[in-house]
């Protein structure tokens, strides 16, 4: 079985026609089930989870409308899941928890895109990388991601080493960043990490996560999901053979299928 639990409708309307374009691409690529996981900062009900003018300008949509669309697709019998991608911030945990409780999500992705006021994966602020110490950036990113894991708010951590998006990498063995994260995730029952092909479409040109991080995850018994992080229909399931090959090389034989907030293991492939 192949699944794709990370895709965004943001470049089109919340309509059946637009959503079905993603589904049709998935079906053509042999993907059994998909999940939509729109960015939380887009929704008025989540105003302030990301406290930045960039996010406020994009906080224009109704979460109820999005949820109703996905539930309607599910009611048709389509293999579609309702998800949400939430930017984790430690000081917003209570807000996030109440938002999740208010809707029938099949799963919720936790992610880090901001270090303070810096959207580190946004090309508009790429110059900030030249002013930062790489060790400090990586340490902060993985520390906050570990906090996200420990919060028990999420079903899956998306693109777990997205901090490498523009190709910046501290010198030396990065296990010093990976190991504490993996140990934290392993303590949270059923928390997954995402293997994503999105990095292949970014300047770094690599899968998320790095093989070394994925190997540590496997050693600690951490479950995984598959994702493309598609923002356009043509990217759904893109480059999946490379992701599947990596998973098999590391030793994974199952992936996580979500429904109604819980996961089950299904055969990979």
Residues of the chain with pLDDT under 70: none
Report the share of the chain in percent with pLDDT over 70: 100
Q: Give pLDDT, residue 79.
A: 97
- pLDDT for 192: 98
Name the β-bridge partners of 38. Answer: 84
pLDDT of residue 269: 83
Query: In this predicted structure, what is the pLDDT of residue 103?
Result: 98
For 137-178, what is each residue's pLDDT tens digit?
999 999 999 999 999 999 999 999 999 999 999 999 999 999
Query: Does the predicted model carry a pTM greater than 0.95?
Result: yes
Provide the Cα torsion 194, 198, 202, 208; round to 10°: 20
Percent of the chain scoring above 90 in pLDDT = 99
Domains in the chain: ranges and CATH: 3-267 (3.20.20.140)
108 touches 84 (CB < 8 A): yes
**128: closest CA among 157, 101, 91, 165?**
165
Q: How many Å apart are CA 96 and CA 82, to the nearest integer?
A: 16
Q: Which residues pair with 35 in a beta bridge?
A: 81
Strand pairing category for 33-39 and 80-87: parallel
Per-residue pLDDT tens over the stretch 150-161? 999 999 999 999
Strand, helix or coil for residue 238: coil
């Amino acid at each position: 079985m192949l699944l794709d639990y990370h895709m965004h409708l943001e470049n089109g309307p919340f309509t059946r026609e637009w959503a079905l374009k993603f589904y049709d691409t998935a079906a053509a690529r042999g993907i059994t089930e998909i999940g939509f996981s729109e960015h939380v900062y887009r929704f008025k009900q989540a105003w302030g989870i990301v406290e930045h003018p960039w996010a406020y300008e994009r906080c224009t949509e109704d979460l109820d409308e999005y949820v109703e669309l996905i539930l309607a697709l599910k009611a048709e019998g389509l293999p579609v899941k309702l998800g949400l991608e939430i930017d984790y911030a430690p000081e917003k945990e209570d807000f996030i928890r109440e938002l999740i409780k208010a809707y029938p999500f099949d799963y919720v992705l936790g992610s880090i895109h901001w270090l303070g006021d810096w959207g580190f994966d946004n090309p508009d602020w790429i110059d900030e990388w030249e002013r930062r110490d790489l060790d400090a950036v990586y340490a902060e990113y993985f520390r906050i991601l570990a906090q996200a894991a420990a919060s028990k708010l999420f079903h899956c951590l998306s693109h777990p080493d997205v901090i490498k998006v523009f190709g910046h990498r501290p010198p030396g063995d990065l296990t010093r960043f990976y190991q504490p994260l993996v140990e934290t995730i392993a303590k949270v029952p059923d928390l997954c990490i995402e293997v994503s092909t999105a990095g292949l479409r970014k300047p770094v040109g690599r899968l998320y996560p790095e093989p070394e991080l994925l190997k540590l995850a496997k050693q600690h018994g951490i479950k995984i999901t598959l994702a493309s992080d598609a923002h356009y229909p043509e990217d759904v399931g893109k480059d999946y053979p490379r992701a599947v090959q990596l998973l098999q090389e590391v030793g994974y034989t199952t992936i996580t299928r979500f429904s109604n907030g819980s996961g089950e293991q299904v055969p990979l492939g």
